């Protein structure tokens, strides 16, 4: 996706706690887990995820006084469960001091527990606050969507529709606003170094779990510098969405795995009851109505990221995870197949500038790389239910990804869209397997092929013309409003 799309998708994936916390509850209470046992059933390890960090947008730093926490004297903020550890000295910054003393002490206790479990040192305190739902929505408008215009969202929706992931004309900007307001449970802003937890009925089990996760992000930032050290920022992620998706998966997998350790070692029976109640009562109409691929993409950094981190931990504990920050994963292929990290690097695939070959009025609106994960989403979770392949088939067809690049063009006068999607596969067998699966998917989407040759298949409907070319270990997906535009793209690719 382009910079705006991937930034928003990364951020959305980073604040999807509420739906994922329900998965946590389902795993905990569906498998007979008992706090006295302290053993973690496998389903929990596969589904425990919480809120996240996101590439920072350009916005002025704010002083602690400008961050408005809830009224610490209100009844809703009073603690309704007791920490399992002795109260520690209150080391909070000015924002923390505005919290109720009971909540501040709980936060301090959780911080000490996370420090001991994760083994990363803290370089200093973090500004923190609780937010009401009303304050949250305002933060969404001011902090997440302030530089994401309706026009940018429209371009992003156009690109996603070309891939078959969204219906044409989808109102992406409004959807993001509603989803953020429904789903955010807390976040750490690595630009301003502020940490927020969204208040429910108080600082109970869900909030405590969230805080453990978010404080891990603060430690990541203090030790590795998320924006400058890891290259995870809006500007650094421009045209690098695949690399940034891999980094986000490391960040979220780290925090999700630690959060589970925290709950195992320090979660109370009251925490368990609180999460059970949350799970029983939670509703998510916006998330439930989200396009299929977005629902999957929201939780990818947590589920697959945690599996990646747990694979590293099985080798050499948290030390192996710390080393990954010195040699960052570069693709979602490495996240999905951690045994291929760090050796199997993505291959650069070049696409020349093609807008001039298309004639008057055409301009390139997006150019980037998407990895194995998005290739899978296109095949298995597109907008058209009839064109979705079985997940197993789509996974097998996406495996063997080596690298790719896409470029999307739009005619400013007519609104017509054209696209080139070039992929390098590990072998000719991998390219052929993808070609077969893509043909099945695209036939369901556009109808029976107009032409079917060993190295080229084409489809045409009333609105578009599509071709798939297979050239050894490479495949080329071309789409346009008619055969002439697609032919111009193909001729200028070679």
pLDDT of residue 146: 74
Residue 71 confidence (pLDDT) above 90: no
pLDDT of residue 138: 81
Q: Mean pLDDT, to the nearest integer, of 212-236?
A: 93
* Residue 477 Cα distances to 86, 365, 396, 467, 470, angstroms: 61, 17, 19, 6, 9
Q: Mean pLDDT, to the nearest integer, of 162-168?
A: 96
CATH, residue 401: 3.40.1000.70
- CB distance 465 to 481 below 8 Å: yes
Upper half-sphere CA count for residue 32 (Cβ side, 13 Å): 0
> What burial class does residue 57 get, using C-beta atoms within 10 Å of its C-beta: 0-12 exposed, 13-18 middle, 19+ buried?
middle
Question: Which has more pLDDT, 5 or 193?
Answer: 193
401 and 311 co-located in one domain: no
Confidence of residue 53 (pLDDT cuts 50, 70, 90): very low
Residue at 448 is within a domain = yes
328 and 361 co-located in one domain: no
Q: What share of the chain is helix, strand, coil (3-state, %, to 5)?
A: 50, 15, 35
Give the separation between CA 210 and CA 130, rounded to whole angstroms: 12
Residue at 70 is within a domain = yes
pLDDT of residue 21: 56
Backbone angles phi, psi at 18, to 5 degrees: -60, -45
SS3 category, 391: helix
Angle of helix 17-30 relative to helix 172-183, nearest 10 degrees, comes to 50
Torsion angle (degrees, nearest 10) of CA 22, 25, 27, 31: -150
Q: Which of 6-20, 73-87, 431-445 has the lowest mean pLDDT?
A: 73-87
257 and 400 co-located in one domain: no
201 and 287 co-located in one domain: yes
329 and 459 co-located in one domain: no
Give the containing element (helix H, strand E) for 404: strand 401-411
pLDDT of residue 24: 54
- CB distance 144 to 13 below 8 Å: no
Give the containing element (helix H, strand E) for 251: helix 241-266
Count of H-run helices and E-run strands, the chain: 18, 10
- For the segment 407-441, what is each residue's pLDDT rounded down to a tens digit? 999 999 999 999 999 999 999 999 999 999 999 99
Question: Which has more pLDDT, 284 or 112?
Answer: 112
Residue 35 confidence (pLDDT) above 90: no
- For the segment 285-313, what is each residue's pLDDT rounded down to a tens digit? 998 999 999 999 988 999 999 999 999 99
pLDDT of residue 16: 35
Q: Which domain holds residue 371?
A: 355-493
SS3 category, 329: coil
Residue 70 confidence (pLDDT) above 80: no
329 and 371 co-located in one domain: no
SS3 category, 96: helix
Residue at 273 is within a domain = yes
pTM of the model: 0.84
Q: Which candidate, 283, 224, 286, 285, places its Cα nearest to that of 251?
A: 224
Residue 204 confidence (pLDDT) above 60: yes
Q: Which of 51-65, 242-256, 339-353, 411-425 has the lowest mean pLDDT?
A: 51-65
Confidence of residue 12 (pLDDT cuts 50, 70, 90): very low
> What burial class does residue 487 get, using C-beta atoms within 10 Å of its C-beta: 0-12 exposed, 13-18 middle, 19+ buried?
middle
- For the segment 229-243, what is each residue's pLDDT rounded down to a tens digit? 999 988 888 889 999
Backbone angles phi, psi at 391, to 5 degrees: -55, -40
Q: Mean pLDDT, to the nearest integer, of 212-219?
A: 94
23 and 122 co-located in one domain: yes
Q: Which of 95-99, 123-127, 204-208, 245-249 has the lowest mean pLDDT?
A: 95-99
314 and 383 co-located in one domain: no
Q: Mean pLDDT, to the nearest integer, of 251-264?
A: 94
Query: What secondary structure, in 3-state letters, does 49-63 show?
Result: CCCCCCCCCCCCCCC
282 and 159 co-located in one domain: yes
Q: Which one of 338, 366, 394 terminates a domain?
A: 338
Confidence of residue 192 (pLDDT cuts 50, 70, 90): confident
Residue at 350 is within a domain = no
Residue at 146 is within a domain = yes
Residue 29 confidence (pLDDT) above 80: no
What are 102's two structure tokens? Answer: 């009971």
Residue at 441 is within a domain = yes
145 and 274 co-located in one domain: yes
pLDDT of residue 20: 55
pLDDT of residue 89: 40
The pLDDT mean for the chain works out to 82
Residue count of the chain, please give it: 494
% of the chain beyond a pLDDT of 90 = 60
Residue with tokens 């990646």: 308
Upper half-sphere CA count for residue 396 (Cβ side, 13 Å): 10
Residue at 343 is within a domain = no
Give the separation between CA 461 and CA 481, rounded to whole angstroms: 9
Q: Which of 206-215, 334-343, 361-370 has the lowest mean pLDDT?
A: 206-215
SS3 category, 494: coil
> What is the separation, in whole angstroms, between the first and last Cα of the chain?
24
149 and 296 co-located in one domain: yes
The DSSP annotation for 108-172 comes to HHHHHHHHHHH-PPP-S--EEEEE-HHHHHHHIIIIISTT--HHHHHHHHHHHHHTTSS-TT--H
Q: Which of 91-95, 204-208, 237-241 has the lowest mean pLDDT?
A: 91-95
Give the separation between CA 394 and CA 377, rounded to whole angstroms: 8
DSSP state of 242: H
Angle (CA) 136 300 61, round 5°? 35
Residue at 211 is within a domain = yes
> What burial class does residue 344 get, using C-beta atoms within 10 Å of its C-beta: 0-12 exposed, 13-18 middle, 19+ buried?
middle
pLDDT of residue 405: 97
Question: Which has more pLDDT, 47 or 331?
Answer: 331
- CB distance 344 to 334 below 8 Å: yes
Q: Mean pLDDT, to the nearest integer, of 475-490?
A: 98
pLDDT of residue 244: 93
The total domain count for the chain is 2
362 and 324 co-located in one domain: no
- For the segment 383-399, what is each residue's pLDDT rounded down to a tens digit? 999 999 999 999 999 99
Residue 94 confidence (pLDDT) above 50: no
| Sign, Cα dihedral of 25, 26, 27, 29 | positive
């Amino acid at each position: 996706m382009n910079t705006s799309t991937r930034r928003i998708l990364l951020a959305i994936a980073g604040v999807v706690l509420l739906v994922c916390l329900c998965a946590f509850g389902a795993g905990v209470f569906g498998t007979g887990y008992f706090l006295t046992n302290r053993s973690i059933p496998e389903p929990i390890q596969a589904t425990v995820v919480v809120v996240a960090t996101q590439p920072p947008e350009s916005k002025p730093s704010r002083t602690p006084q400008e961050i408005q926490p809830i009224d610490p004297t209100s009844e809703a903020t009073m603690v309704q469960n007791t920490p399992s550890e002795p109260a520690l000295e209150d080391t909070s910054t000015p924002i923390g001091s505005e919290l109720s003393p009971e909540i501040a002490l709980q936060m301090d206790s959780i911080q000490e527990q996370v420090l001991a479990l994760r083994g990363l040192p803290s370089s200093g305190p973090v500004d923190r606050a609780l937010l009401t739902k009303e304050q949250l929505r305002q933060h969404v408008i001011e902090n997440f969507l302030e530089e994401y215009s309706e026009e940018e969202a429209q371009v992003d929706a156009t690109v996603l529709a070309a891939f078959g992931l969204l219906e044409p004309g989808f109102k992406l900007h409004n959807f993001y606003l509603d989803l953020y307001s429904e789903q955010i449970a807390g976040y750490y802003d690595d630009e301003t170094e502020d940490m927020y937890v969204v208040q429910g009925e108080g600082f109970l089990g869900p909030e405590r779990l969230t805080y453990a996760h978010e404080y891990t992000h603060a430690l990541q930032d203090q030790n590795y510098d998320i924006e400058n050290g890891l290259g995870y920022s809006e500007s650094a992620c421009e045209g690098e969405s695949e690399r940034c998706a891999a980094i986000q998966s490391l960040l979220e997998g780290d925090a999700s795995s630690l959060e589970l350790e925290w709950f195992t070692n320090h979660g109370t029976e009251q925490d368990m009851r609180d999460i059970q109640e949350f799970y029983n009562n939670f509703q998510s109409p916006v998330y439930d109505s989200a396009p299929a691929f977005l629902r999957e993409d929201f939780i990818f950094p947590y589920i697959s990221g945690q599996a990646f981190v747990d694979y590293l931990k099985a080798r050499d504990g948290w030390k192996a995870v710390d080393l990954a920050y010195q040699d960052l994963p570069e693709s979602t292929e490495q996240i999905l197949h951690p045994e291929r990290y760090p050796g199997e690097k993505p291959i650069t695939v070049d696409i020349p500038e093609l807008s001039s070959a298309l004639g008057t009025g055409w301009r390139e609106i997006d150019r980037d790389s998407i990895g194995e994960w998005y290739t899978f989403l296109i095949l298995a979770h597109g907008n058209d239910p009839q064109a979705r392949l079985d997940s197993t088939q789509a996974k097998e067809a996406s495996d063997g990804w080596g690298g790719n690049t896409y470029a999307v063009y739009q005619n400013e006068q007519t609104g017509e869209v054209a696209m080139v999607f070039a992929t390098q596969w590990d072998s000719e067998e991998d390219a052929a397997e993808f070609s077969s699966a893509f043909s099945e998917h695209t036939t369901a989407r556009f109808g029976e092929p107009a032409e079917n040759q060993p190295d080229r298949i084409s489809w045409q409907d009333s609105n578009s013309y599509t071709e798939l070319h297979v050239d050894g270990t490479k495949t080329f997906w071309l789409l346009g409003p008619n055969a002439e535009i697609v032919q111009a793209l193909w001729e200028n690719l070679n």
